[in-house]
Structure 1
Amino acid sequence: MALAIGVDIGGTKVAAGVVDTSGQVLRRARADTPERSVRPQVVEDTIVGVVTELIESCAEPIVAIGIGAAGFVAADRATIVFSPHLSWRNEPLRDRLSDRIGQPIFIDNDANAAMWAEAKYGAVRGETHAMMITLGTGIGGGILMGGEVIRGLFGIAGEFGHMQVVPGGHRCECGNRGCWEQYASGNALVREARGLVAANSPLARDLYERVAGDPARLTGPLVTEVAQAGDRTAIELLTEVGTWLGIGIANLAAAFDPGAFVIGGGVSAAGELLLDPARQAFRKQLTGRGFRPEARIVRAELGNEAGLIGAADLARESVAG
């Protein structure tokens, strides 16, 4: 069995796993993502640490290692051009990891890897034209057209999170204002919830009590938990994020016309509390609504492991030729 290791580098965690040819994760390792201010070497050390742990725990040989990185990956599939959440700037990550690990290394954008996994093993099996939207710290995106991942001439297609949706809007970590991820991501959800708690709004009484009045303790999963328990304000916060999600998806449908959109990332754990308002906003904003086929909007099946599963499978295919 040709086993590969997939590594998913997100804004808050580095998750890795040994993946077989059926997309099953056989072993797992995890570490916190280093702070953005630290040297790239520290992120590299973290990757090497989780990969080494998995290699040493696996009796069978590993054929390749795939890295799904939250950032712009150059067309050479070797260099991280830019990462808004990490300190990578034109970082030759593939070569540095190859030197230290001694295994074939494949690098791709994390959302591209997740798109591949969901198309091969998950929610959009059988779709030849689909798009992945990953909602976590920010928004990532992957494009599947004609059964192939589309990366663009320079390798960085699919950075949907940095489409401008509100001119002069919230400042984004990428440096611009009004990016989509400032309105439809985990960070957006937490920002709005913390604002209500900081203001001691009577609308956020349940959230306020959950964190003892300390906005810094408020997280996206907590907002989702409170919403799922029926809190009207938490539900409203997720509805707002879902509405922005649907607006952005309608724009993508106008440009790419896929058969399905698959929604992954940590925020997708909210399920229909997020997806139902997204579908409503999508239908309302869709160009030619009522006179054209409507793409499905579905939740990812592989959860938070889609990125590492896809990275591992792409790496395995790259060494198989």
Structure 2
Amino acid sequence: MKRRQGSLTIGIDVGGTSLRASVVDPSGQVIDSTQSPTPHTASALEQGLERVVRELAERHPVSAVGLAVAGFVDSDRKSVRFAPHLPWVNSPVARRMSDRIGLPVLLEHDANSAAWAEYRFGAAADGRNVVMVAIGTGIGAALLIDGRIYRGSYGVAPELGHIQVVPDGRACPCGKRGCWERYCSGTALVDTAVELLAADQGSSTILARDVFLDPGSLTGRRIASAAQDGDEIGLRTMQDFTRWLGVGLSMVSDIYDPDLIVIAGGVATSSSQFLNEATEHCARLVTGAGHRPLARIRATQLGEAAGMIGAADLARSAFSTSSH
């Protein structure tokens, strides 16, 4: 089947570690991909983005590019205000990249991009008011109201990961203490396990032995795997994570009253271990428990490709509309 010229767009997940780029068709299918490390200066990063776009554009007739950025994007989606793991500050990235590659370029927050992809093609397709909670190193979040991305007045909403849940709690890189993501993220899993191991130094669980032999082996993925195998420290760590997820989701439900919440990010790959219990915990804590409909809570369908798919689809929509 021959694809219509211009129906393909490129979505790029611009992360602090890697640039992941995909060619995406109008049905949300990824038809080609490439990946490279993220450079650490603004000029090198833009050169790297140009390389991955040109590589894919040589193989496919693409019409636009969407960048899913882990940072604050202006509400006009043309500039990056700030990105903690990227070298852009108050930078007109869309214009500079468009000048480089000769294609229109749209920017979007990475969580917004992923939420849009799930709404168009995945787990949120039947949602009306949808919150995405993307749990990885920290917590990213997005809100769709009646099928429209809500960005706030200045393009930075909603920063759910930095709602304070523990006064004077764990220090957060954002400068505050006790943020939700310090208790409910991949990083939080490691911190909790370290605290439990320190409090129980006689522990002889497999996880304890692994950490004693190689402290660097302790990762969120390793903890989830240990819990799956019945390791006591792993199970207690996952229980703590699950409790905090329920606490946060009840706050999300109270504030936004969504009909659907999608759990995404790297931790979502282990959702079978915690999602049902976290949902039950949320249902007990939500205001008016037992007297109101509750949001359905689901895991992502599109996984790590969601940001690329969403950015590509948003770029297609923006520039096909503006060209008519």
TM-score (norm 1): 0.91
> Is there any run of 5+ residues in structure 1 with no aligned partner, and where?
none
Letter in 1 for 2:206: D
Give 1:84-163 correspondences, 5 Å limit.
84-163=84-163
Query: Match of 1:52?
Result: 54
Q: CA deviation at 1:9?
A: 2.3
Q: CA deviation at 1:167?
A: 2.2
Q: Paired residues, what number?
A: 316
Match of 2:26 among 21, 32, 38: 21
Query: Match of 1:39?
Result: 41
Letter in 1 for 2:63: V
Contact 2:205 2:231 in 1 (8 A): no
Query: Match of 2:245?
Result: 245
Contact 1:11 1:137 in 2 (8 A): no
Query: Match of 1:218?
Result: 218
When residues 124 and 200 of structure 1 are mapped into structure 2, their CA distance, relative to the original with a 3 A threshold, is same
Q: How many angstroms apart in 1 are the aligned matches of 2:171 and 2:308?
A: 30
Deviations 1:49-90 (A, max 9, x none): 33333223x2x3111111111111111201111223334322
Residue 230, structure 1, aligned to residue 230, structure 2: yes
When residues 90 and 168 of structure 1 are mapped into structure 2, their CA distance, relative to the original with a 3 A threshold, is farther
When residues 306 and 55 of structure 1 are mapped into structure 2, their CA distance, relative to the original with a 3 A threshold, is same
Residue 281, structure 1, aligned to residue 281, structure 2: yes
Cα RMSD after superposing both structures: 2.0
Query: Match of 2:201?
Result: 201
When residues 204 and 281 of structure 1 are mapped into structure 2, their CA distance, relative to the original with a 3 A threshold, is farther
Deviations 1:147-185 (A, max 9, x none): 111111111112211222222222222222222111111
> Is there any run of 5+ residues in structure 2 with no aligned partner, and where?
none
Q: How many angstroms apart in 2 are the aligned matches of 1:286 and 1:229?
A: 32
Contact 1:198 1:213 in 2 (8 A): no
Query: Match of 2:14?
Result: 9
Contact 2:94 2:106 in 1 (8 A): yes
Q: CA deviation at 1:139?
A: 0.7
| Structure 1 counterpart SS, 2:143 | strand
Q: How many angstroms apart in 1 are the aligned matches of 2:204 and 2:85?
A: 29
Q: How many angstroms apart in 1 are the aligned matches of 2:101 and 2:49?
A: 10
Q: CA deviation at 1:21?
A: 0.9
| Structure 2 counterpart SS, 1:271 | helix
| Structure 1 counterpart SS, 2:274 | helix
Give 1:176-195 correspondences, 5 Å limit.
176-195=176-195
When residues 208 and 13 of structure 1 are mapped into structure 2, their CA distance, relative to the original with a 3 A threshold, is farther
Letter in 2 for 1:145: I
Letter in 2 for 1:21: P
Q: CA deviation at 1:198?
A: 7.0
Deviations 1:266-305 (A, max 9, x none): 0111112121232132112101110000101110000111
Letter in 2 for 1:20: D
Contact 1:78 1:95 in 2 (8 A): yes
Query: Match of 1:306?
Result: 306
Contact 1:169 1:178 in 2 (8 A): yes
Query: Match of 1:296?
Result: 296
Q: How many angstroms apart in 1 are the aligned matches of 2:107 and 2:217?
A: 34
Letter in 2 for 1:181: E
Deviations 1:200-233 (A, max 9, x none): 8344731244456222232222222222223232
| Structure 1 counterpart SS, 2:77 | coil
Contact 1:204 1:233 in 2 (8 A): no
Q: CA deviation at 1:314?
A: 0.5
Query: Match of 1:267?
Result: 267
Q: CA deviation at 1:194?
A: 4.2
Letter in 1 for 2:86: L
Residue 168, structure 1, aligned to residue 162, structure 2: no
Q: How many angstroms apart in 1 are the aligned matches of 2:167 and 2:247?
A: 15
Letter in 2 for 1:150: Y
Contact 1:268 1:274 in 2 (8 A): no
